[in-house]
Structure 1
Amino acid sequence: MNTLDAPYLNCHSLSTQSNVLLVRDALGRPKQCWYGDANRVTLSPQTQRRAHRMHMRDQANLGAGPLASRAWGLRTREWALSTAESLHHTHRWDHQEALDTARAALNGLGLNFGATTNTAYLTKVMVFAPENAGETLAKVIHTHQDELATWIAKAAAAKAAGADTKTKKSKTKGKAATGDDDAAPAAAGKDDKTPPMPQKVRNQLIAALAPADAIDIALYGRFLTEIATGGNVDGAIQTTTAFSVEPANIVEDYFSAADDRKIARQRQGADFTNALALLNAIDPLATEDPEQDLPLADNRGAGMTGYQPFVSGTFYAHSVLDRALLRRNLRNGGTPEDEIEDYARAAEQAFLDAFVNAVPGAKKNTTAAPGTLPKLVLVHEGKRPYNYATCFEEAIQPSAGAPSIQGATRLLQHHAMITRKQKLDPGTVLTYDLAVSELFDDLRLSGQLGPLEVHTPEELATPLTAGQPT
């Protein structure tokens, strides 16, 4: 593949959110940071990246978009469970034997498991691997069933011997501490260690977890420290922390939740017809009888009350796609050479669609945040990444007008300066906002709108592909 003339695809957006809580810190509060001259509310990169990745995957699962027929990855702690399911259903293994063997095989690669009943078959870290890795692991385990059974037995024996040696050493040390003349050091012998897994089996198991042609691994990368040769991948997408262009605006929303049974009783009303007779029947000298003291329903107030923080603001977000690295990841994953270019372009189109349309789904039912479309999206090529966060170091003040319009004006002015000084292609812009659309019209009439206005995410990269090899 020839070197791309403009290997970086820079993506910038301004999106206005009203009363949302897309991401929280450990205390349940909106994430914040001090930037420039004001405190801002922020959206962490992992929140955005997961929204983008799941949007692309969901579209593909629906048979839509350029990646509909492509392979995907799965990030989970449940690979032992997935492998055991395949061993049980496809290869007719006993279910418990399948679980134990899958766990032992993955543990032999260096993956550690939880110590409780609920986590005994869950790896301590999530492993990002091709979605069919469980089936592939099961096939390897089934093919080498006898070799693995022998190795597992030896490993268990070595572990038991090691535990016994530790116990003896502990007892010997205790005797020596009491001054017992009969205490003797443990006999020196072979160091008890777990025998290594047969190399051929190990290589095939590692290959089953290799990134292969999973497109989301090629785009976002993975880091697997537990397996030295497990195939770490540098992600082709960089993502900044999104932040509000105006000072942080956090509202403590007081809420009250209704109890349905209580509301039903309130609607029926109280029966006062025999109230006097009931009061006269009460014996003030009667002692309490716990067995007859039944709890009474309370019709007062709401069922539950509390406070929930929400944020509003216009957020600047930035991501950049390293086109050259994406192609290299696809090649290293085993994608056929004659398919790499089409695959990479399809991934680029899908990523742009996700960058425009994907919104983190936290509290989506009480905020409807995923329905928000961006005010402005700017996409352009470059020989290096271009992050425009610095143009919002001075916070926009709402007193001077809508922050989103001020932000759009400032972002376009900043891009015009960078375009002129760095000799960049101006790229493309997209808006779903009437006020920003009018801003585009004004700038276009005055000859100051450098980027080409487009109307769909698919068009965002269309003028940018001229520098790519055919």
Structure 2
Amino acid sequence: MTDPTLFVEVHILQSLPPSNVNRDDSGTPKQALYGGARRARVSSQAWKRATRMHFAAGSPEADRATRTKRIGGLLTARLAQPASEGGAGLAKEHAERLAAALLVPLGITPSATKAEQSAYLLFFGKRQLDGLIALLNGRGAELATLPDKDLKDEIASLGVVGTLSSGHPAEVALFGRMVADLPALNVDAAVQVAHALSTHTVRTEFDYFTAVDDENTVDSGAGMIGTVEFNSSTLYRYAVLGMHQLRENLTASDAVLDAAVRFVDSFTRSMPAGHQNSFAHRTVPRLIAVTLRTDQPVNLVSAFEEPVTGASGLVAESAVRLAGELDAVGTSWGSTPVRTLSTYVLQGDKLADSFGTSLPFPKLLDTLRELLDGWLANGQIPTGPGRHSADVPSARDGSAPATATTRDAS
């Protein structure tokens, strides 16, 4: 019997004022054609990094991960630290030699242009560096003086690959790791993030700006003249977390639960920082819907294949479209969430029918934690207040789709 699957999806509608949060190589806000219309776009990579930085800020320093080409330098610095501080107390030249030897089993080679860096980025936990030091078992000084062949043989017997293949921090477990040269180090990501798209057509605009020279008393000319491109948009953002994959990556139930809830929090609250000093574009979402599915993830972006026109406001119209798409997927495909938890600041019976009662966001996270805790314990998600699969019979049953939703009586 296969382990049960559970997908935690996060659907967000968020309005951004004039901004340029994610630009291309020419400085233009990223865009995409969708439904034959030009849309604002924020790449998945940009929002994943913003999410990861927000997530890391809430973790103890020792439990964080880092993605870098400078693992050799970090390992050298650790080996040079006194044993009382967790290092090996080696002289710099011995620390550099031993660090290089420890990286050989990982297939990490120096950059062709910068010898102090590796050829590619490696994503790993800071505690995993502690694990590499622990492998030496106090023999660092002895190993660092061995002839090259003997040192290579000793290092090969230590299990370096195994150390970086286990004990992953939550960030690596969530976002995964791919090492083309050594598949044993690969970690399947538990999270997938879509490119954020505007629900409507956008047009890029230009801000012509000048900077005044405060000490110029001779003429009225500007000290600098320039332009920056920007747009404004209402974005549909989507991410999905596979709880079953996260459990495989982390193992410990407490760690899995904490990582899952904190991911939803960080994805919701984070914001890419491009040109933030120029535009102060940080907003909070107007609608967050967390859907729990046991069959497959469903990105609801098709709700906006026909661009929203905003006759009654872009957010309000987008929310109604999103609610309709959620219901349509359930009716047409029999793919309805087991539970739906929502936070929104919009009015309308349609939203309550589709998304359930709006919860304060902290309450949404607490409820999500309770549901995921139950799933980790027994593989089940209990039904309760809020829209769930019991409210909408599967189209495969031949029964009519339900039009009512269970609501919180409190």
TM-score, scaled relative to structure 1? 0.71
Q: Identify if the C-alpha distance between structure 1 residues 320 and 300 changes in structure 2 by more than 3 Å, giving closer, same or farther.
A: same
Are 2:231 and 1:311 aligned? yes
Q: Identify if the C-alpha distance between structure 1 residues 114 and 422 changes in structure 2 by more than 3 Å, giving closer, same or farther.
A: closer
Are 2:330 and 1:425 aligned? no
Aligned residues: 366
The AA in structure 1 aligned to 2:325 is: H
RMSD: 2.7
Name the CA distance, whole Å, in 2 between partners of 1:467 and 1:99: 47
Are 2:66 and 1:74 aligned? yes
CA distances 1:353-390 after superposition (whole Å, capped 9, x unpaired): 112211112222222223x1001111111121011011
C-alpha displacement at 1:392, in angstroms? 0.8
Find the residue that maps to 2:59 and give its secondary structure. Answer: helix
Name the CA distance, whole Å, in 1 between partners of 2:277 and 2:230: 14
Q: Identify if the C-alpha distance between structure 1 residues 26 and 426 changes in structure 2 by more than 3 Å, giving closer, same or farther.
A: same
2:361 matched to which residue of 1? 456
2:301 matched to which residue of 1? 389
C-alpha displacement at 1:425, in angstroms? 3.3
1:469 pairs, out of 377, 392, 396, with 377
2:111 matched to which residue of 1? 114
Are 2:149 and 1:238 aligned? no
Name the CA distance, whole Å, in 2 between partners of 1:451 and 1:463: 17
Name the CA distance, whole Å, in 2 between partners of 1:252 and 1:38: 20
Q: Which moved more, 1:409-418 or 1:8-17?
A: 409-418
2:139 matched to which residue of 1? 143
1:128 pairs, out of 106, 123, 126, with 123
For structure 2, the residue ranges without an aligned partner over 5 or more in a row are 83-87, 379-410
2:205 matched to which residue of 1? 251
Would you say the 8 A contact 1:352–1:458 is kept in 2?
no
Find the residue that maps to 1:395 and give its secondary structure. Answer: coil
Find the residue that maps to 1:386 and give its secondary structure. Answer: coil
The AA in structure 2 aligned to 1:342 is: D
Name the CA distance, whole Å, in 1 between partners of 2:182 and 2:63: 23
C-alpha displacement at 1:403, in angstroms? 1.2
1:99 matched to which residue of 2? 96
Within 5 A, what are the aligned runs for 1:50-449?
Answer: 50-61=49-60, 71-90=63-82, 91-107=88-104, 109-116=106-113, 119-140=114-135, 143=139, 145-147=141-143, 149-152=145-148, 154=149, 197-198=152-153, 201=156, 203-229=158-184, 231-262=185-216, 265=217, 299-331=219-251, 340-370=252-282, 372-382=283-293, 383-398=295-310, 400-420=311-331, 421-425=334-338, 427-431=340-344, 433=345, 436=346, 438-439=347-348, 442-443=349-350, 448-449=353-354
Would you say the 8 A contact 1:242–1:317 is kept in 2?
yes
2:3 matched to which residue of 1? 3
The AA in structure 2 aligned to 1:103 is: A
Q: Identify if the C-alpha distance between structure 1 residues 463 and 108 changes in structure 2 by more than 3 Å, giving closer, same or farther.
A: closer
Q: Identify if the C-alpha distance between structure 1 residues 469 and 92 changes in structure 2 by more than 3 Å, giving closer, same or farther.
A: closer
Percent of residue pairs identical: 25
Name the CA distance, whole Å, in 2 between partners of 1:378 and 1:368: 25
Find the residue that maps to 1:422 and give its secondary structure. Answer: coil
Name the CA distance, whole Å, in 1 between partners of 2:104 and 2:248: 30
Q: Identify if the C-alpha distance between structure 1 residues 411 and 228 changes in structure 2 by more than 3 Å, giving closer, same or farther.
A: closer
CA distances 1:232-259 after superposition (whole Å, capped 9, x unpaired): 1100111111111111232111111222
Q: Identify if the C-alpha distance between structure 1 residues 365 and 35 changes in structure 2 by more than 3 Å, giving closer, same or farther.
A: same
Name the CA distance, whole Å, in 1 between partners of 2:158 and 2:277: 46
C-alpha displacement at 1:20, in angstroms? 1.2
The AA in structure 1 aligned to 2:343 is: L
Name the CA distance, whole Å, in 2 between partners of 1:212 and 1:463: 25
Q: Identify if the C-alpha distance between structure 1 residues 133 and 72 changes in structure 2 by more than 3 Å, giving closer, same or farther.
A: same
The AA in structure 1 aligned to 2:108 is: L
Q: Identify if the C-alpha distance between structure 1 residues 10 and 363 changes in structure 2 by more than 3 Å, giving closer, same or farther.
A: same
Name the CA distance, whole Å, in 1 between partners of 2:307 and 2:119: 42
C-alpha displacement at 1:206, in angstroms? 2.2
C-alpha displacement at 1:443, in angstroms? 3.5
C-alpha displacement at 1:457, in angstroms? 4.2
Which structure: larger Rg? 1
